[in-house]
Amino acid sequence: MPSEYSPQELMAIFLARDLQDGDVLRVGVAMPVVEAAVRLAHIMHGPNMELIFLGARMNVAHLDSLPMPAFGWDRRVVRWAESYSDSGHRFDRIKDWGRHVFFIGGVQVDPHGNTNLIGIGPDYHHLRFRGPGSVGTPTLSTHVGRYYIVLNSHSPRIFVERCDYISAYGWGTGGADARQKLGLPGGGPKYCVTPLCVMDFTEDTKHLRLHSTHPGVLAAEVQAQTGFSLATTATPALTSPPSEEELRVLRTRVDLSGMLRRSA
Amino acid sequence: MPERHERILDETEAASWVHDGMTIAVGSPAPMMLLRHIIRRGVKNLTVVDSGLSLDLLIAAGCVRKVVSYYAGGGFGVPVAPSFRRAVERGEIEVWECEEGILTTGLQAAAQALPFLPWRGGVGTSLPEINPDLKLMQDPIRGETLIAVPPIKPDLALLHAATADAYGNVQHCGGPGWLDLFLHRAADRTLVQVERIIPNEEVRANPWATTIAGADAIVRAPYGAHPFYSRGCYVQDNAFLRTYVEAATAAQTGKPESLHQYLTYYCREPATHGDYLERVGIKHLLGLYEY
């Protein structure tokens, strides 16, 4: 009988399983699920991963625990870094970003995985909601080998037929060659992970497809919370629940304060 | 026999370099002592190259007309910096929409006196539509689509660092601040506030540690980045920043009293940095010591 767990814990565990040893993981601000996922993967199967929090690059597999959060530029974070680069410098070896992995959020996501951090409203000069801005997501999503769209909630307000603005280009208007046609070298979004489900992209049209629902969530429920038709497979899978070991490591060595349980 | 000029200013002289309508670039950690002086003097219509909560404070205080920003997150559970969000939604300030790579590219173009530099990140996005200064171009070598980023040229870069000598040789502690070197290279003039002014001999003992050679002016500012961190000295004061974020968030929903109070008590009333530090309190400041 598996333990109780929160959707956020399951999201972190799903992501951690998909990260490969040797990946270079670039983590931005305000994404606790991702911060937990990269630490969990690093401890469980990724001693050669590199974790880059903003510009602080670390390998901390030797530590007993990797508590969260660890953001900011002061010594509390930088003490773990082996090297440390400032904005711009960290965009200096883009040619090697094929093995880099990135995580991206958004206030809107469209059927082809384009994302919006700019704002909501038809008139750019009178936005109904002003978002935080693109951060580095246009450049990172252009170049990294793969990235994950990770969202704290799943609703028709977020999953829209058309983003009011696109700050990171996923698969444009669709098609497996969409990125190639624009000359974008990176591999594009791989999965979109939410508290309800995991989605991937159809191979030919690059349309969001239901990959697996989280235990207890019905496919119809996911569709009802999505503002466009999701592609489906014949038999949508169930996201594998956390193992006892995954939960134990997550709770005792990563998320010591229970951040991912509280946000449930 | 003429002597080498010292470049040390006092805080009031330094702050008087900032005039209405200028383009200023704010380093990270933000040089808060100088920013508080700007607020106290009621400088208006600034174009500000900055991100995060220092930008938000300048907006809250009514100093800003236009922002060049790739990120204005709030932190502390607030996804968007509250005063930024409110001012943009009401059309009170203009945004020069960009992202990190485009910003550094524009700063680099300014530094190298070029009409533009190309950048790929942003191709396919809305950025060139909502910022008409960004031009899609065909590269003449391989014919690829890229973005031509024009120079971003601040009149003045305002930075915070650990130490500098009297001649403008700046030595950050533990590496230069986020974007600081880009801002310095691009700006017409650079003004750096430092925790400590050190003798020129100390700089010459370790010239490799000099991060900025020839800042135009240096101002002494112990605890001058508070409530942000200063590497080698103190960590970020999250409790204090949370107070600001809460006050600014309340102002967003029609309750401006605590934000007014914050601006008055911490930015407008203290005539000097010393007066500000007295209001924060020595015990509180010592509690932020790095180790």
Q: Does the residue B233 lie in any domain?
A: yes
Is the confidence at residue B174, as pLDDT, over 90?
A: no
To the nearest whole angstrom, how far is the Cα of B252 from the nearest Cα of chain A?
Answer: 12
To the nearest whole angstrom, how far is the Cα of B91 from the nearest Cα of chain A?
Answer: 6
To the nearest whole angstrom, how far is the Cα of B2 from the nearest Cα of chain A?
Answer: 39
**Residue A139, token pair as written in the block:** 């450049």
Q: Does the residue A146 lie in any domain?
A: yes
**Count of CB atoms situated within 10 Å of the CB of B221:** 24
Per the structure, the count of domains in chain A is 1
A-B contacts (CB, under 8 Å): 158
Q: Residue length, chain B? A: 291
Give the pLDDT confidence score for residue B77 in this predicted structure: 81
Mean pLDDT of A60-74: 70
| pLDDT above 90 coverage of chain B, percent | 91
CATH code: domain of residue A19: 3.40.1080.10
Give the pLDDT confidence score for residue A264 in this predicted structure: 47
Point out which residues pair with A102 in neighbouring strands.
Answer: A26, A147
Give the pLDDT confidence score for residue A124 in this predicted structure: 97
Give the model's confidence band at A54: pLDDT under 50 very low, under 70 low, under 90 confident, else very high: confident
Q: Do B97 and A125 touch (CB under 8 A)?
A: no
Q: Minimal CA–CA distance to B152: which of B60, B271, B265, B69?
A: B69
CA nearest to B289 within chain A? A75
- Burial class of residue B284, CB neighbours in 10 A (0-12, 13-18, 19+): middle
CA distance B210 to B194: 13
Q: Does the residue B252 lie in any domain?
A: yes
To the nearest whole angstrom, how far is the Cα of B87 from the nearest Cα of chain A?
Answer: 9
Is the confidence at residue B237, as pLDDT, over 80?
A: yes
Sequence-separated (6 or more) residues with CB below 8 Å from residue B274: none
Give the model's confidence band at B187: pLDDT under 50 very low, under 70 low, under 90 confident, else very high: very high
CA distance B79 to B60: 17
| pLDDT tens track for A79-101 | 777 887 765 567 888 999 999 99
CA nearest to A90 within chain B? B101
Q: Does the residue B137 lie in any domain?
A: no
Give the pLDDT confidence score for residue A89 in this predicted structure: 66
To the nearest whole angstrom, how far is the Cα of A168 from the nearest Cα of chain B?
Answer: 6
Is the confidence at residue A108, as pLDDT, over 70?
A: yes
CATH code: domain of residue B264: 3.40.1080.10
Sequence-separated (6 or more) residues with CB below 8 Å from residue B186: B25, B106, B107, B108, B110, B111, B151, B152, B153, B154, B157
| pLDDT tens track for B74-98 | 888 889 999 999 999 999 999 999 9
Is the confidence at residue B101, as pLDDT, over 80?
A: yes
Is the confidence at residue B152, as pLDDT, over 70?
A: yes
Is the confidence at residue A193, as pLDDT, over 80?
A: yes
Mean pLDDT of B175-188: 91
Q: Is B91 helix (H, G, I), strand (E, B) or coil?
A: coil
Q: Pick from B88, B175, B291: which is nearest to A127 by CB?
A: B88
Q: Does the residue A242 lie in any domain?
A: yes
Q: Do A118 and B73 touch (CB under 8 A)?
A: no
What is the DSSP pairing of strand A208-213 with strand A237-238?
A: parallel
Give the model's confidence band at B111: pLDDT under 50 very low, under 70 low, under 90 confident, else very high: very high
Q: Which residue has the tokens 């698969």?
A: A171
Give the pLDDT confidence score for residue A1 in this predicted structure: 42
Q: Pick from A72, A133, A169: which is nearest to B69 by CB?
A: A133
CA A51, A55, A58: angle at the middle one, nearest 5? 30
Residues on chain B touching A86 (C-beta within 8 angstroms): 175-181
Point out which residues pair with B25 in neighbouring strands.
Answer: B49, B157
Q: Pick from A72, A130, A139: which is nearest to B101 by CB?
A: A139
Q: Does the residue B143 lie in any domain?
A: no
To the nearest whole angstrom, how far is the Cα of B178 from the nearest Cα of chain A?
Answer: 5
Give the model's confidence band at A29: pLDDT under 50 very low, under 70 low, under 90 confident, else very high: confident
**Residue A223, token pair as written in the block:** 């569709």
Phi and psi, residue B220, nearest 5°: -80, 130
Phi and psi, residue A115, nearest 5°: -125, 155
Residues on chain A touching B122 (C-beta within 8 angstroms): 134, 138-139, 142
DSSP character for B122? T
Mean pLDDT of A100-111: 97
Give the pLDDT confidence score for residue B185 in this predicted structure: 96
By residue range, what is the domain housing residue B78? 1-114+151-291
To the nearest whole angstrom, how far is the Cα of A120 from the nearest Cα of chain B?
Answer: 10
| pLDDT tens track for A126-157 | 999 999 999 999 999 999 999 999 999 999 99
Q: Which residue has the tokens 């510009």?
A: A55
Residue by residue, DSSP assigns chain A as: -PPP--HHHHHHHHHHHHPPTT-EEEE-SS-HHHHHHHHHHHHHT-TT-EEEETTEEE--TTSS---S---SSSHHHHTT-SEE--TTGGGS-GGGGGGEEEEE--SEE-TT--EE-SEESS-GGG-SEE----TTHHHHHHHSSEEEEE-S---TTTB-SS-SS-SB-SSTT--TTHHHHHT--S--EEEEE-SSEEEEE-TTT--EEEEEEPTT--HHHHHHTSSSPPB--SSPEEPPPPPHHHHHHIIIII-TT-HHHHT-
Is the confidence at residue A78, as pLDDT, over 70?
A: no
Q: Is B19 helix (H, G, I), strand (E, B) or coil?
A: coil
CA distance B84 to B245: 11
| pLDDT tens track for A115-133 | 999 999 999 999 999 999 9
To the nearest whole angstrom, how far is the Cα of B152 from the nearest Cα of chain A?
Answer: 14
Helix (H) or strand (E) holding B217: strand B217-220
Is the confidence at residue B140, as pLDDT, over 70?
A: yes
Q: Do A136 and B177 touch (CB under 8 A)?
A: no
Q: Does the residue B3 lie in any domain?
A: yes
CA A208 to each of CA A44, A174, A214, A227, B97: distance values in angstroms, whole numbers, following the listed order: 29, 10, 17, 12, 28
Give the pLDDT confidence score for residue A71 in this predicted structure: 56
Q: Do A88 and B126 touch (CB under 8 A)?
A: no
Give the model's confidence band at A28: pLDDT under 50 very low, under 70 low, under 90 confident, else very high: confident
Sequence-separated (6 or more) residues with CB below 8 Å from residue A108: A115, A116, A120, A157, A158, A159, A160, A163, A164
By residue range, what is the domain housing residue A67? 7-262
Residues on chain A touching B101 (C-beta within 8 angstroms): 91, 136, 138-139
Is the confidence at residue B107, as pLDDT, over 80?
A: yes
Give the model's confidence band at A191: pLDDT under 50 very low, under 70 low, under 90 confident, else very high: very high
Report the amino acid identity of residue A31: M
| pLDDT tens track for A227-240 | 999 999 878 799 99
Give the pLDDT confidence score for residue A88 in this predicted structure: 56
Is the confidence at residue B226, as pLDDT, over 60?
A: yes
CA nearest to A139 within chain B? B121
Q: Pick from A87, A135, A172: which is nearest to B124 by CB?
A: A172
pLDDT, chain B, mean: 96
Q: Does the residue B130 lie in any domain?
A: no
CA distance B237 to A238: 44
CA nearest to B84 within chain A? A130
**Residue ranges of chain A whose CB lies within 8 Å of a chain B CB:** 29-30, 55, 72-76, 78, 84, 86-88, 91, 118-119, 124-143, 165-169, 172, 182-184
Per the structure, the count of domains in chain B is 1
Give the pLDDT confidence score for residue B197 in this predicted structure: 98
Report the amino acid identity of residue B119: W
Q: Does the residue A148 lie in any domain?
A: yes
Q: Does the residue A22 lie in any domain?
A: yes
Q: Pick from A76, A88, A142: which is nearest to B121 by CB?
A: A142
Mean pLDDT of A181-205: 97
CA nearest to A183 within chain B? B144
Q: Do A136 and B70 touch (CB under 8 A)?
A: yes
Least confident range of A47-51, A86-90, B38-42, B123-127: A86-90
Sequence-separated (6 or more) residues with CB below 8 Å from residue B207: none
- Burial class of residue B91, CB neighbours in 10 A (0-12, 13-18, 19+): exposed
Q: Does the residue A20 lie in any domain?
A: yes
Q: Do A142 and B29 touch (CB under 8 A)?
A: no
Give the pLDDT confidence score for residue A236 in this predicted structure: 77
**Residue B287, token pair as written in the block:** 């509690």
CA nearest to B125 within chain A? A166
Q: Do A29 and B80 touch (CB under 8 A)?
A: no
